[in-house]
A and B are shown apart, each in its own frame.
Chain A
Amino acid sequence: MSTSNGNDNVVTKSNWKIHWRMTESAGLMIYLADYRGHRVLWAAELPYVTIDHQSQDLDIEDGGNVGHGPFWVPLGHRTQAGPVSCTDFRGGFELSVDFDAGLYQYTQIWRFHEDGRMAPWLTIHGGGLHDAHTYHPHWRFDFDVDGAGHDAVEHFDDGRWTRVSEEGWFPYTGEADDGGFVWRQVDFGSGASVSIRPHHWEDAELFAIQHRTNDAASSPHSAAGAQTFPAAYVGNAPLDGHDVALWYVAHVHYDTAFPFTAGPWIRVSGF
C-alpha cells in the first residue's frame, strides 16, 4: 500500500470502513472509522511513547535522586522502518508498521474484527540503556459514537458503572465488569457504546478530557516543572453530552519477557 497523497488509504471490509495515514509524530493514525455504517471514531493515534530510566543503585547519598527524566522520540515518518501492511486474518484485518529509533524498536498494530472489536496495540521490542526502565505509550482516541457531542463517559468503579461528569484521571485499579472492561463511552441517542479493556500487565490509566482544538500537543513536555500531557489538560470541564477525547496511557516495565505488546481491547457494541 502506498502512503502517498491519494485515496489508497481506505480499507472497507469485515463490517468496518477505516482511513489511515502515517503522521509526523503520532504513529499510524486511524480516522473516520465506521462500523456497520455508523461513525465510531473521528481519529485515533499514538502521540507519545516516553521512556523513563530508573537509577539502578539507590544510595542514600543520592539525596533521593531517582535517575534522569524521561526522553522520547516520535513515531512517524522519520522513524518508520518499513511500509504499512494490511493483512487479513480469520474474522478481520489488521494494519501494522515497524518503527526503528536507535535502541528502541516498535511495531504498531491496528486490528479490526468483524464482531466490533478493535485493538490498538504497540509491540515494544525492548532494549534501553539498562534494564531498569519503563515505557509509557500514550494513545489518544476521539470516539464519535454515532456522532459527536452526545456521549457520556463511564468508569467501572465500586462494582458498577458510574457516570463521569467532569474531566479527570481514572486509573485501572483491578476492578472491571464481567467482560474485563473498565471504561466506556456511551451514545445517548442510539444506546451504542465503545468499551475499553486494559491489558492486565500494563497498569493502565485513562484521562477523559473535553475535546478542544489543540488537545494533542506535539510533545508530552508541557513546561519546565509542570505536569506532562495529557495530565496537564485535565481541568473541571463537564463531559456529559460534550465531545470527549480519551487518552489511554500504559506503563510497561521492561523485563526479560520482552517483546511485550501493550494496548487495550476496544469493543463497539449496539450497532
Chain B
Amino acid sequence: MARAKTTKAKKTAKKKPAAKKKAAPKKAAKKKPAAKKKAAPKKKAAAKKKAAPKKATKKKAAPKKTAKKKAAPKKKAAPKKATKKKAAPKKATKKKAAPKKATKKKAAPKKKTAGKKVVAKKKTAAKKKAAPKKTAKKKAAPRKKAADLRLADASLFAPFTRGERADALRILTEDKRLANMAKVGRYRVISVEPAPVKPPQERSGCRLAAIVVYDYAQARCVDAHVDLDNSEVAHLKLSNVQPMLAREEEAAAISVALADENVKKQLSLGEQPQVAMHYWSTDDTDLSHGRRSAAVVFGQPGAAASLVAVVDLISNSVSEVVSADQW
C-alpha cells in the first residue's frame, strides 16, 4: 500500500532544529587523505604499546612540571614532518623515553600519598593523562583509549539492587546543595539507573548511578550522578528540564482526572483511564506549556479513545478536557 509522506507536522518537526545543516566544506574533504596518512604511524606506535603498555603508563606518572619541561622542546623538535621521516624516530623516541625512567624515582613518593584516597588517585591519574596530551597526543593517546575500552567492566551496567538504589538516594539527599529539597520533601524520584563512564574519563570503573528527581517545591529537575564506590555526588545539575513522569505521578494524574467533575460528566459508561502520558503544550497560553503536566486518555478497554484530560501536576487539578477526535 502506498504510504503518504509526512504531512505538516513532519515539516514543522524538521524546521525546529535551528542547528545548521552543515555541508562540510571542501577543505574537510581534503582532510580525508590526511587521516589515512596519520593512520600509518599509529600501527607502529600501537605495536610498541602492545609490547610495553604498562611501562608507558608508568612513564606518564612523572610529575607534571618535569613532564612539561621535557615535553616542551618535543613539540617544536618533532612536529608531523618528523614522524613522516619514519626511520630515525624509533630510536629517537627510545632515547627520549630513557630520561623518563629517571623521573620515576621522583614520582614514587607521590604514588604513596595518592594511594590513601581512591578519589584523589583517580583525579590525579586523569590529570596526568590529560597533561601529556599536548606533547605525545598523536603518538600514544588514541590506541591507549581503544585498549582501555575493551577492558570496560560490563558489571557496571548491571541493574541496581534495592540496596544500591537506596544507597544512591541516601547519598544524594544528604548532599548539602539539596538540603532544602530533602527537608521539604515535595519531590519525586523519577529514575535511578546505572551510568558507567568510559575509560579513560574520571570515575571510569566506578559504580555510578544517574538519578533524576523532580523537585515540586522549586519546580526544577535535579540530574545527579552518584558514585557508589566513593559514596559521593559526582555531578549535580539543576535545571528547568521536564523529566518523564514517575510511576507515582502517572497514578496521581489518573486519580486527579477521575475525581474531576467535568471529566465525570463527559465519560460514558465503562470508559476508563487507558494511559497517562507526559505532556506539554506548544501553545504558550496554555497552563501545560510551562508546568508539569500529564494527559490522561480515557476510553473503553480495547477500543478507541474518547476523551483526554490534561492534569496540572503542580496544583493537582484538571486544566483542560478535550474530546479525543479534537486532540
Contact = CB atoms under 8 A, between A and B. Distances in A.
Given A129-B308, A207-B19, A223-B241, A188 B24 contact: no
Contacts of B282: 68-70
A189 B39 contact: yes
Contact of B275 (A103, A169, A234): A103
Given A73-B275, A144-B149, A171-B21, A10 B154 contact: yes
Interface in A89-105: 101-104
Given A39-B146, A67-B327, A219 B24 contact: no
Interface residues on B, range: 35 or more
Given A169-B21, A188-B38, A72 B277 contact: yes
Interface string A199-240: 001010101000101100111011111011001001000001
Given A5-B159, A166-B22, A102 B274 contact: yes
Interface string B278-297: 11111110001110000101
A163 B278 contact: no
Contacts of A163: 24, 28-29, 31-32
Contacts of A203: 5-6, 10, 14
Nearest to B24: A162
Interface of A: 3-7, 10, 19, 21-25, 31-32, 34, 39, 42-43, 51-56, 65-74, 78, 101-104, 129-130, 132, 134, 136, 144, 146-150, 152, 155, 157-158, 160, 162-171, 186, 188-191, 201, 203, 205, 207, 211, 213-214, 217-219, 221-225, 227-228, 231, 234, 240, 243, 251, 253, 255-257
A24 B191 contact: yes
A253 B5 contact: yes
Interface of B: 1, 3-10, 12-14, 16-25, 28-29, 31-32, 35-36, 38-39, 42-43, 46, 141-143, 145-150, 152, 154-155, 157-161, 190-193, 197-198, 201, 210, 212, 223, 225, 235, 237, 239-245, 247, 274-284, 288-290, 295, 297, 299, 305, 308, 322, 324-327
Contacts of A19: 154, 157
| Complex A-B, nearest 5 residue pairs according to Cβ-Cβ distance, in ascending order | A102-B275, A147-B146, A224-B290, A234-B19, A102-B274
A68 B277 CA distance: 13
B133 to A, nearest CB: 11
Contacts of A72: 244, 277-278
A26 B206 CA distance: 22
B198 A148 contact: yes
A5 B242 contact: no
A164 B161 CA distance: 41
B158 A21 contact: yes
A168 B297 CA distance: 36
Contact of B283 (A5, A65, A189): A65
B318 to A, nearest CB: 15
Contacts of B201: 213
B223 A214 contact: yes
Contacts of A150: 142, 145-146
B3 A24 contact: no
Contact of A160 (B6, B29, B42, B190): B29
Given A39-B150, A130-B327, 13 more contacts: A53-B327, A54-B8, A68-B282, A69-B279, A102-B275, A130-B324, A147-B147, A162-B23, A164-B28, A167-B19, A222-B242, A231-B18, A253-B6
Contacts of A231: 16-19
A170 B22 contact: yes
Contact of B239 (A43, A71, A168, A223): A223
Given A70-B280, A102-B274, A148-B198, A217 B9 contact: no
B170 to A, nearest CB: 19
A134 B10 contact: yes
Q: Which of B12, B14, B280, B325 has the most C-beta atoms of chain A within 10 angstroms of its own C-beta?
A: B280
Nearest to A170: B21
Contact of B157 (A6, A21, A24, A71): A21
A235 to B, nearest CB: 8
B9 to A, nearest CB: 5
A253 B7 contact: yes
B252 to A, nearest CB: 15
Contacts of B308: 129
A132 B289 CA distance: 22
A52 B9 CA distance: 8
Nearest to B190: A218
A101 B276 CA distance: 9
Contacts of B241: 217, 219, 221-223
A190 B327 CA distance: 52
8 contacts: A21-B158, A22-B159, A39-B150, A56-B325, A71-B279, A102-B275, A129-B297, A148-B145
A7 B156 CA distance: 11
B227 to A, nearest CB: 12
A164 B23 CA distance: 7
Contacts of B43: 189
